[in-house]
């Protein structure tokens, strides 16, 4: 067996799986630090000591960090509890006649806001068979 790279060893120390965990498509494992913060938040909510304003500073810190990582301004980063909330906002903001390209078999909650918006046309793209992680444009696009 090959020795583990030190960076991988350090990264693994942040997680506490019980056995081998492969279901990352559904949800990933929480790092220890995130679990600690979540446990503290859950305790505050359960005991009635949580104040909504307590979430403002961490939310803005996350927004600023993501903006820095992606090279945008923090005011360009939208946060929501559900993707469908943001997708609905985007769908409502598109002009009449806009065309939307979506992956074939996408989650209904991600496509329906566009499908139900009058004046929008949704095209589905199937995965290319000759190149991984790319999508074929619909023939009528």
pLDDT, tens digit, 9 for 90 and up, residues 34-85: 999 999 999 999 999 999 898 899 899 999 999 999 999 999 999 888 787 8
pLDDT for the residue numbered 138: 54
Locate the domains of the chain by residue range: 31-79, 80-141
pLDDT for the residue numbered 129: 66
Round the average pLDDT of the chain to a whole number and report it: 86
What six digits make up the tokens of 132? 């991984």
Q: Is the pLDDT of residue 128 over 90?
A: no
DSSP letter for each residue of 85-116 = HHHHHHHHHSPTT-EEEEETT--HHHHHHHHT
How far are the Cα atoms of 28, 47, 48, 68, 93 from residue 74, in angstroms, in the given order? 25, 33, 31, 8, 21
DSSP 122: E
Element (H, E) at 34: helix 32-47
Strand, coil or helix: 125: strand
Q: Is the pLDDT of residue 127 over 60?
A: yes
Q: Is the pLDDT of residue 132 over 60?
A: no
- Phi then psi for 70, rounded to 5 degrees? -100, -5
Q: Model's pTM, two decimal places? A: 0.54
Q: Is the pLDDT of residue 131 over 80?
A: no
pLDDT for the residue numbered 8: 86
Q: How many helices and strands, by DSSP H and E, does the chain display?
A: 5, 2
Q: What is the mean pLDDT of residues 11-38?
A: 84
Q: Is the pLDDT of residue 101 over 70?
A: yes
pLDDT for the residue numbered 121: 94
Q: Which residue did the predictor score with more confidence, 136 or 37?
A: 37
Q: What is the mean pLDDT of residues 124-140?
A: 64
């Amino acid at each position: 067996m090959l020795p583990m790279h030190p960076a991988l060893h350090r990264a693994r120390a942040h997680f506490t799986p019980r056995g081998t965990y492969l279901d990352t498509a559904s949800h990933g494992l929480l790092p220890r630090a995130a679990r600690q913060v979540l446990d503290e938040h859950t305790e505050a909510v359960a005991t009635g000591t949580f104040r909504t304003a307590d979430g403002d500073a961490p939310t803005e810190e996350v927004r600023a960090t993501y903006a820095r990582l992606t090279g945008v301004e923090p005011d360009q980063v939208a946060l929501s509890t559900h993707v469908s909330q943001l997708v609905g906002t985007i769908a409502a903001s598109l002009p009449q006649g806009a065309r939307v390209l979506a992956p074939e078999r996408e989650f209904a909650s991600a496509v329906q806001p566009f499908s139900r918006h009058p004046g929008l046309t949704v095209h589905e793209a199937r995965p290319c068979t000759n190149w991984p992680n790319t999508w074929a444009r619909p023939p009528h696009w």
